[in-house]
């Protein structure tokens, strides 16, 4: 199968034309219309074998996850997904792998009406690079630098199950088959919180998607917003499987677990009911876990408001 047949069979022929994409796959560039009064939101994430997923990972879940982690970035900004490009570097052409990968990819893309508009296929060590494009009304993006002292800190969904599943695959933990299956869904098939991100437009101030663990990701908001925070560790929403583990593991995985793809966002306390309403409307649990403060640094406290001394290291690809 040639490169062009491959692209056609598994990628270009799988979509119907979209009004906002006057020119899609098959030219030097794709063309996209951006509505008046809207800004373009752009994010790029690559997934690398052995780093973001195990060698031999299931192709269908890989297709899902590659797009999901990118849509999660749009969700954090509050942007509507519009289109994406895919640069796929493959060691060889296995049709079964491609059929499954593209099925996982397009199932998720269709859910969010997000069109594949171009990309690239090359031979080499497996690497999946996606750039997503979304739209957001001027001035409404949830930027990391927008948190203000007094804001509530909120988390969508729950934390830590993805990390627990990972530890199980690495033989660092043991889980029942049912628990491993449940937590693996969180690791392999995260749900990008796009609907919540949209519902929070005009309600949330700052937001970030949790890919490297809450402590490190929240620190990005604090640094850019030039403020600090107190986080109530016992209020953190713990994943269903992780909640059966020890308290210390719950705290550790919730704070530095990584791969959660939940949203952490801040909102003025006057908007508390609006945040809860956004969660209800989008069927997304939202939990208040702390408060933004003027004093720099992040303080982790227990249910009695006692300062906890935690050693937290967020994930870093180069350390």
Query: Scanning residues 144 to 173, which ones bind its own copies (CB under 8 A)?
Result: 144-145
* Per-residue x/- track, 36-75, its own copies (CB under 8 A): x--xxxxxxxx-xxxxx-------------------xxx-
Report the residue count for the chain. 319
Beta bridge partners of 84: 116, 132
The least CB distance from residue 165 to its own copies, in Å, is: 21
- How many residues bind its own copies (CB under 8 A)? The answer is 71
Segment near its own copies (CB under 8 A), from 25-33, 158-166, 233-241, 282-290?
Answer: 25-33
The least CB distance from residue 186 to its own copies, in Å, is: 20
Q: Binding of its own copies at residue 32 (CB under 8 A)?
A: yes
Q: With b meaning 16 or more CB within 10 Å and e meaning fewer, what string describes 273-287? A: ebbeebbeebebebb
Distances in Å between the Cα of 291 and the Cα atoms of 48, 152, 217, 258, 303 are 36, 5, 15, 21, 14
Segment near its own copies (CB under 8 A), from 140-148, 175-183, 234-242, 248-256?
Answer: 140-148
**Separation between Cα atoms, residue 268 and residue 151, nearest integer Å:** 4
Is the Cα torsion angle 115, 206, 236, 279 positive or negative in sign? Answer: negative
Segment near its own copies (CB under 8 A), from 141-149, 164-172, 242-250, 254-262?
Answer: 141-149
* Residue 155 contacts residue 263 (beta carbons within 8 Å): yes
The least CB distance from residue 5 to its own copies, in Å, is: 9
CB-nearer residue toward its own copies: 43 or 230:
43
Name residues contacting its own copies, limited to 79-98 (CB under 8 A): 79, 83, 85-87, 89, 93
Name residues contacting its own copies, limited to 191-250 (CB under 8 A): 207-209, 224
Query: Which H or E run contains 122?
Result: strand 115-123
């Amino acid at each position: 199968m040639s490169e062009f047949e491959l692209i056609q069979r598994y990628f270009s022929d799988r979509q119907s034309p979209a009004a906002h994409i006057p020119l899609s796959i098959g030219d030097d560039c794709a063309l996209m219309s951006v509505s008046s009064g809207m800004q373009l939101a752009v994010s790029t994430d690559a997934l690398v074998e052995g780093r973001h997923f195990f060698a031999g990972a299931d192709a269908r879940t890989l297709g899902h996850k590659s797009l999901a982690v990118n849509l999660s970035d749009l969700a954090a900004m509050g942007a509507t997904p519009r289109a994406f490009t895919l640069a796929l570097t493959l060691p060889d052409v296995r049709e079964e792998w491609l059929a499954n990968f593209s099925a996982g990819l397009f199932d998720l893309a269709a859910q969010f009406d997000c069109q594949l508009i171009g990309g690239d296929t090359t031979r080499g060590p497996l690497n999946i690079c996606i750039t997503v494009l979304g739209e957001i009304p001027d001035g409404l993006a949830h930027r990391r630098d927008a948190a203000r002292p007094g804001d509530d800190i909120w988390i969508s969904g729950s934390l830590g199950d993805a990390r627990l599943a990972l530890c199980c695959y690495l033989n660092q933990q043991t889980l029942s088959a049912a628990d491993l299956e449940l937590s693996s869904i969180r690791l392999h098939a995260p749900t990008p919180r796009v609907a919540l991100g949209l519902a929070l437009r005009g309600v949330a101030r700052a937001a970030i998607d949790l890919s490297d663990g809450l402590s490190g990701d929240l620190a990005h908001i604090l640094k850019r917003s030039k403020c600090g925070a107190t986080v109530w560790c016992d209020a953190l929403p713990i994943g269903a499987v992780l909640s059966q583990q020890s308290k210390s593991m719950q705290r550790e995985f919730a704070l530095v677990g990584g791969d959660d793809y939940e949203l952490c966002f801040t909102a003025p306390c006057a908007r508390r009911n609006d945040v809860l309403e956004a969660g209800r409307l989008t069927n997304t649990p939202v939990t208040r876990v702390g408060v933004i403060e003027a004093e720099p640094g992040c303080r982790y406290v227990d249910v009695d408001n006692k300062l906890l001394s935690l050693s937290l290291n967020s994930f870093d690809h180069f350390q």
